Structure 1
């Protein structure tokens, strides 16, 4: 609604709240872009999208659930408009079919998938992504690889790490039929540690659907964050690791709104330290590396 007066015009939103003001100038009304009213409206719009961006473009329903299953989110969230970055980074066609009933305990079933080679190597020279997803908690683990033949080594590192963390053994590891999984080294390793290797039929990725979906979500979130930050594609590795960090702290429908982090660690995640991926940061300079009158921080 617009109300015209002798001094100008006032613009109200659908709730009757003053949204902006305008001043008559040479027969037309000029929007007062520097007024306190319109600056406040801009800030509100920024706040509405802030947590969406901090959480790697998580959907509004997910953020609503996360408020009750985490600490650090101190405001009511309301998505005010469609996010163009999400349209760029997450557009897809058809989802994969469900992979069956959820496992009863941690490490009863682990899904794995490998992705690559990437057209653009990361700054660290990596070209592949290896993901491992715990079926019970939906907790995702990510390894960045320079070569696909590193998969066997990463699988053994993963096994040793998670089994020590939670004092449980991996029972089943489900993968596709790729040669990175179906080779003598991996097979002997699984036999040594009593791990059952379930393999999908060749050219049928839907049979490993849970790993495929996790991989897709990981890459979509990373792509959205790269687009939002306007960063070079060589930062894809940093975006992927951030994506995994955020996915583990975001609610999942299969977990009834809880986060993978809570099921894996036994405590709710603290999100108070989150910032938007790619934002400017100030790094402290140790006194050993600066002179008397040098600045104590530098912009990164």
Structure 2
């Protein structure tokens, strides 16, 4: 589908060691197409913590929207989707602003303030 819809060749497939891709027919197809399989470590504390924080943020924003608008819980799905939309929009806006200002994002020292020189005394 990716090759036909976007006219791009799939270079690799990243998965957590899914059994579906280890069976004969998908494995043979992947090898014949020259697609590299990359397995990730599932259930690691680092990735679990990141995803848990992201989910908690979306839940909190969705609950706040429902509470502020005094809506019933039946609108939870719409509130969650709106929270995700807003979160993605803020990220894209921040990235666009960073590109406009010419920041590379590679050097964190560029984005920090320095208090060298101290303070004047009266």
TM-score where L is the length of structure 2: 0.48
Q: Which has the larger radius of gyration?
A: 1
- Structure with larger RCO (C-alpha < 8 A, sep 6+): 1
Q: Which structure has more helix as a fraction of its residues?
A: 2
